[in-house]
Amino acid sequence: MNQSKIFQVSVVLVIVFSALSIGAKTHNLPVEYIQALVIADVAITVFFAIEIIIRYLATNNAKKFFSSGWNIFDTAIVIGSLIPAGGSGVLLARLLRVFRVLRLVSMIPELRILINALLKAIPRMGYIALLMFVIFYIYAAIGSILFENINQKLWGDVSISMLTLFRVATFEDWTDVMYETMDVYPFSWIFYLSFIFLTAFIFLNMMVGTVLEVMGSEHERYRAESHGETEEGGEPASRAQIEQLQKELAEIKQLISRR
């Protein structure tokens, strides 16, 4: 376990160094520093290739290794890093090397939990986003009908009105838009405040709540897996099930001690 931890920390440090070297190449550096960075880039690429081979050999099962999406992700990044940085593919090679920073996600469990939670929350968030689009469209249609004569650039049609409402939802000088229409329609503030209340408060909090709910279940799943509380093909045991099992074991011990 300690060796595995040291190996993991070493890989993380190399990834961080790789990220720093990529950033350093964007600056105007002396020739000797650029040459040193090129040598370091080759060494990092070789290190990543050896590291992924070691992980593959340690699995002893190709099907099991590639059944993990994170292993496929790491392998794709390493293969992309092997593209030569010279010739016509220099731009592609530099872009692929930038993505090596993403390997931090696969190496750090906490980051994996965040990404898994975000991916699993996307379907639920999609319905919320669809409802938000409906609200945007309704308010854009109303705004285009009411305020078109006030400012054609902001309320000329539904598409432009939706962009204006996005500006309002992100609080980008939205009061300027509101005061302009209030000069003609004094009660138009109701239009803006109701829209902000729906989008910025209700729907945004619904999305945050959805992500937090999925993230909590992912943390519970990771805790259960790390403690060996899962069975192959089954779901992780819940905390309530564990407490019930401990209670039953305690009762069995009491019965045995009385005999």
Give the domain-ending residue among 76, 107, 138: 107
What is the C-alpha separation between 3 and 24, in angstroms, rounded? 31
* Same domain membership, residue 93 and residue 57: yes
Note the Cα 183 to chain centre separation in Å.
Answer: 44
257 and 249 Cβ atoms separated by less than 8 Å:
no
Quote the DSSP letter at residue 102.
G
pLDDT value for 258: 67
Give the domain-ending residue among 204, 219, 234: 219
Query: Which is more confident, 164 or 124?
Result: 164
For 134-156, write each residue's pLDDT tens digit.
Answer: 999 999 999 999 998 999 899 98
For the chain, percent of residues with pLDDT exceeding 70? 86
For the chain, give the mean pLDDT: 80
Give rounded-to-5 percent helix, strand, coil for the chain: 85, 0, 15
- Segment 97-122 shows an average pLDDT of 79
* Number of domains present in the structure of the chain: 2
Instruction: Answer yes or no: is 186 within a domain.
Output: yes
Per-residue confidence at 87, pLDDT binned at 50, 70, 90?
A: low
pTM: 0.60
pLDDT value for 9: 80
**CA nearest 93: which of 38, 33, 51?**
38
What is the C-alpha separation between 173 and 226, in angstroms, rounded? 49
46-51, long-range: CB within 8 Å, 24+ apart, which pairs?
Answer: 47/14, 48/14, 48/77, 48/78, 48/81, 48/100, 48/103, 49/78, 49/81, 49/82, 51/11
- Reading the block at residue 205, the tokens are 């909090």
Compute the C-alpha angle 77/78/84, nearest 5°.
105
- Segment 185-204 shows an average pLDDT of 90
69 and 91 Cβ atoms separated by less than 8 Å:
no
Angle at which helices 2-24 and 90-98 pack, to 10 degrees?
130
Instruction: Answer yes or no: is 41 within a domain.
Output: yes
pLDDT value for 228: 58
Instruction: Answer yes or no: is 114 within a domain.
Output: no
**C-alpha R_g of the chain:** 28
Report the CATH number at residue 133: 1.10.287.70
Write out the residue range of the structural domain in which residue 138 sits: 124-219
* Same domain membership, residue 98 and residue 13: yes
3-state secondary structure of 61: coil
Quote the DSSP letter at residue 200.
I
Instruction: Answer yes or no: is 26 within a domain.
Output: yes
For 118-136, write each residue's pLDDT tens digit.
Answer: 888 888 888 888 999 999 9
The separation between the first and the last C-alpha atoms of the chain, rounded to the nearest angstrom, is 43
Per-residue confidence at 232, pLDDT binned at 50, 70, 90?
A: very low
Highest mean pLDDT among 60-69, 160-169, 250-259: 160-169
